[in-house]
Structure 1
Amino acid sequence: MKSQTADVASTIEPRETTQGWLVVLASMIGVAVGLSPIPFYTIGMFAPELSQAFGWSFAAMMGSIAVQSGVVMLISPGVGIVIDRYGARNVAMVSLMLFGLCFMSLGFSTGSLTLYYGQWVVMSVLGAGTLSATWTRVVNGWFDRNRGLALGIASTGTGLTGFLIKPFTAWLILNYGWRTAFVVIGMLPIVIGVPIVFRLFRENHAAVIDVAPDETVIVEEYGVTLRQALRDPRFWLLAAAFLLIAFALTAPTPNMENILKTFHFELPQIARITASFGLAVIAGRVIGGWLLDRIWAPLCAFGILMVPAVGSWLLTGSTVSPTSALLAILAIGFGAGFEFDLLAYLINRYFGQRHYGAIYGCFYAVIALGGGLGPVVYGFSFDRTGNYHAVLLSGVGCLIVGSLLLLLLGPYPRWAANRVISAIA
């Protein structure tokens, strides 16, 4: 038996090859059929059916999304640790399978709201491995020069689901009923996600190491541990920034139709304007990711996040024209699309890959907290004042302060390449 320790600058590097882009494709599909978009974009279609069947209020049914957000906020750090320990691919396949089965089980609801919420709790726990920490960890490992663009393309899966799943769900409910619709949609992660992840989703363990064929090589990934990250002031700076940014970017989304309604737009006009939001999210993911590869990320973030800040400000006037309303919605959507790409990119650059999943899970909990508070605060402000002017201005302030905090992060650390810590014959 022999052991060796060495830093190898050219031993293990992200290889921007066809395989890497296939991983991006698999990640995009995995995101699209995961826990984040499917329940969020389909609950509005199922709500009238469940209300008619069981007499549940809309507020009670929308509470299921709050249940999901709360569970995810609590378990995200733990899920990240599991991803780091057992591998993103294994976690993704198991979680896609279990998430699909849990979603299918909603089709067998009996009318008990308590049981219904319990199903959402279980689904959120078992499906948490399909959230962005899983996919971004692996994509980061395959890319360096085009990392931002790759992350942006991978995360467009949510936009694709938002565009396709509503009409598909409506068709299923109209032709086969809501119970069958739950079952069919729950099959998507299993019949589409699992095979594609099994075939294409691979972590980059490629190495060219000069050891004998009968030796086993143990490689330590670059970056810091979770404990080291928690002692780094940049961790808390980033957490404060994303708490503010998540609050400001998430809050307008569920309030969007009502915001436009306060300016006396008619429902068909509101529908046409808000339909642009999904396309703006996709644009924010791809364009923002491309820019991250070319501009220091905190400075890039400052510039891009001023776009939704202007969008929120446009909605604070006493009157808003249809053109201004459209520009505002596009601007907010563009910023919302950029948020998670930015987070994944910054974590990798400042804390590395070593405990990426655990660190990302901590920040996902921060985003869940800010994103969960935002819509409630906006709704409360409307109930008290009859408009959103003051709270939208607070959102503008949050974006400005959050962006300025990112500028304090300083230059990227210079990581050594992955380190060969032992070679055992």
Structure 2
Amino acid sequence: MTERDGAGSAAEGEFRRGWPIVLSALLGIGCGLAAVPFYTLGVFAPHLAREFGWSMGQIMGALTITTLALVVAGPIAGALCDRHGTRPVALVSLTLFGLSYLSLALLGGSLVQYYLTFLVIAFVGVGTLPITFTRTVNRWFERNRGLALGLAMMGTGLFGIVCKPVLAAVIAAHGWRAGFLALGALPLVVALPACFALFREPGRAAGAGGAAEVLPGLTRAEALRSWRFWLIAVVLLPISFALAGTVPNLEGILTDRGFTPATIVRLTPLIGLASIIGRLVGGWLLDRFWAPAVAFVILGMPAVSCVLLSAGGLQPGTGALAIVLIGFALGIEYDIVAYLTARYFGMRAYAAIYSLLYTCFAVGAGFAPLVFGMIRDRAQDYAPALLLAAVMLPVCSAAFLLLGRYPVAGTRQSG
């Protein structure tokens, strides 16, 4: 057997053993906090605006509330995963997340109630984020870690493809309250049973909880003293802002460009399809090329999309291209953060470190829809926000190139 054959056999063995983990992680992430509010709030926004008279900025402010909650809840969830294991955190969080999302069907005309509900959703749903699931995927996979992460994170893309047209049909037939009921049922009916049956950490029975073994890598305190941690954290803020501002506002952007509702319904699911392709292609690239270079290329490309979407006279074909480029980048953003965390800081305190970086990403992503909406309310156009994003993406993505070589596994970094 050649060395290549041996490597291929080892990689196949990883997937034979680890496919239940990838499948359950895919469903958990796809039906969780990372996907559900982000991909669906834009669908509900026109209905909430008509029902209660709220502005787009006020409606999108729910994502900002969610972000502020994650700043506190994310690191707590990471510490719980490192201490008690990911399985119990995921199961409890999926249950509470589904129940709390169901309560949105009871909304009245109070913005305070609206924001408080999303605050609760964020706190109880934090265990459904990739913070939890990628820790276990990283532990099951080594040779094909990037591809496995891409497959697991594909849940957000699959949700993005299916949710908008299905949710629009549910709302058209039964009203927006029924739409919230359908979304709340997803984690309870789909993700929770799958994770209960399949999701576990290496070497532990399905019902086991704790994570007593000491894994190689940096502690959280050591990572916080590393310049690489702070470089990643700082550049994630503007990158996430630029990427995340477009998606919840996409229906509004296309409406401003004169697209009909029927055309918008046809175009917007492309973002989910492109994100799936981005996760698969990006994961394959991460396993074979230097991750910072992959990040620079893929996360910088949507600058073209922002320029196209900001221009008048946008045609459906050009709009589709812009959406695909954004979706492709969205398909790899969380994968890159998870991959960089494992490669540069190891698995010893992976969830605690990744939760901090994820929080940085979430802060940028959470404030972006609100800021984009406020710019639209003031300027009567999304163009100024889109052009700002077009500058941020290539400049900040280039900073990943400063990270340098991966450290040798199991050793301490010198900086």
Question: Is 1:186 matched up with 2:180?
Answer: no
Task: Give, as a single letter, the amino acid of the residue that structure 2 aligns with 1:415.
Answer: A
- Superposition deviation, residue 37 in structure 1: 2.1
Per the alignment, residue 25 of structure 1 pairs with 23
Q: Of residues 362, 367, 371 in structure 2, which corresponds to 1:373? A: 367
What pairs up with 1:257-296 in 2 under 5 angstroms?
Answer: 257-296=251-290
Matches of 1:62 and 1:385 in 2, distance apart? 17
5+ long unaligned stretches in structure 2? 1-9, 205-210
* Deviation, structure 1 residue 165: 3.2
What residue is the counterpart of 2:54 in the other structure?
57
CA distance change for structure 1 residues 270 and 172 in 2, over 3 Å: closer, same or farther? closer
Asked whether the equivalents of residues 21 and 199 of structure 2 are also in contact (C-alpha less than 8 Å), the reply is: yes
Percentage of pairs with the same residue: 45
Native 8 Å contact 1:67 1:117 kept in 2 = yes
Q: TM-score, normalised by structure 1?
A: 0.83
Q: How many pairs were matched up? A: 394
Q: Deviations over 1:72-113 (max 9, x none)?
A: 233211211111111111100011111122122333446554
Which residue number corresponds to residue 36 of structure 2?
A: 38
Query: Is 1:68 the equivalent of 2:66?
Result: yes
Letter of the 1:31 partner, please give it: I
How much does 1:46 deviate? 5.0
Aligned partner of 2:54: which letter?
S
Are residues 1:224 and 2:222 paired? no
User: Match of 2:324?
Assistant: 330
Structure 1 segment 327-406 matched on structure 2, within 5 A:
327-382=321-376, 385=379, 387-406=381-400
The answer to whether the Cα contact below 8 Å between 2:90 and 2:128 also exists between their aligned partners in 1 is yes
Between 305-314 and 138-147, the greater mean CA deviation after superposition: 305-314
After superposition, give the CA deviation of every residue in 1:181-234 in whole Å (9 maximum; x if it has no partner): 54454233223222211211111237xxxxxxxxxx963101111111110000
Query: Which letter maps to 2:406?
Result: Y
Q: Deviation of residue 65 (structure 1)?
A: 2.9
Query: Which of 244, 252, 263 is 1:250 aligned to?
Result: 244
Q: Which amino acid aligns with 2:155?
A: G
* 1:220-266 CA-partner distances (Å, limit 9, x unpaired): 10111111111000011111221121122112223334444454444
Could you tell me which residue of structure 1 aligns to residue 208 of structure 2?
none
8 Å contact 1:240–1:402 — kept in the other structure? no
- State the Cα deviation string for residues 320-339 of structure 1 (Å, max 9, x = none): 44433322221122112211
Q: Is the 8 A contact 1:93 1:194 kept in 2?
A: yes
Partner AA of 1:221 in structure 2: L
More displaced, 230-239 or 270-279? 270-279
Q: Name the stretch that deviates more: 225-234 or 71-80.
A: 71-80
Q: Relative CO higher for 1 or 2, CA cutoff 8 Å, sep ≥ 6? A: 1
Partner of 1:82: 80
Distance in 2 (alpha carbons) for counterparts of 1:52 and 1:381? 20
Residue 4 of structure 2 aligns with which residue?
none
Deviation at 1:34, TM superposition (A): 1.3
1:210 matched to which residue of 2? none
* Alpha-carbon spacing, 1:141–1:115, altered in 2? closer, same or farther (3 Å): same
In the alignment, what sits opposite 1:409?
A: 403
Q: CA, structure 1 residues 137+404, in 2 after alignment: closer, same or farther (shift >3 Å)?
A: same
Aligned mate of 2:307, from 283, 303, 313: 313
Deviation at 1:48, TM superposition (A): 6.2
Q: TM-score, normalised by structure 2?
A: 0.84
In structure 1, what is the Cα distance between the partners aligned to 2:281 and 2:310?
A: 27
CA distance in 2, matches of 1:362, 1:411: 22
Cα distance change of structure 1 residues 379 and 185 upon mapping to structure 2, 3 Å threshold: closer
Letter of the 1:57 partner, please give it: W
Is 1:197 aligned to residue 191 of structure 2? no
Q: Say which SS state the counterpart of residue 253 (structure 1) adopts.
A: coil
Report the residue type matching 2:248 in the other structure: P
User: Is residue 241–residue 401 contact of structure 1 (8 Å, CA) maintained in 2?
Assistant: no
**What is the RMSD of the two structures over their aligned residues, measured on CA atoms?**
2.9
Judged with a 3 Å threshold, the aligned counterparts in structure 2 of structure 1 residues 62 and 228 are, in CA distance, closer, same or farther, namely: same
In terms of mean alpha carbon deviation, does 101-110 or 188-197 score higher? 101-110
2:3 alignment partner in structure 1 = none
Report which of the two structures shows the higher radius of gyration computed on alpha carbons.
Answer: 1
Change (3 A) 1:355 1:231: same
Please tell me whether the aligned partners of residues 80 and 361 of structure 1 are also in contact (alpha carbons under 8 angstroms).
yes
- Residue 117 (structure 2) aligns with: 119
40-49 or 363-372, which deviates more: 40-49
Kindly provide the CA deviation profile for residues 112-158 of structure 1, in whole angstroms up to 9, marking residues without a partner as x: 54334323222211111001111111111111111111111111111
For 1:346 and 1:164, locate their aligned partners in 2 and report how far apart those are by CA, in whole Å.
30
Q: 2:137 aligns with which of 136, 139, 154?
A: 139
Give the distance between the partners of 1:183 and 1:400, measured in 2 at CA.
40
Provide the rounded CA distance (Å) in 2 between the counterparts of 1:51 and 1:273. Answer: 23
**Aligned residue type for 2:86:** A
State the secondary structure of the residue aligned to 2:213: strand
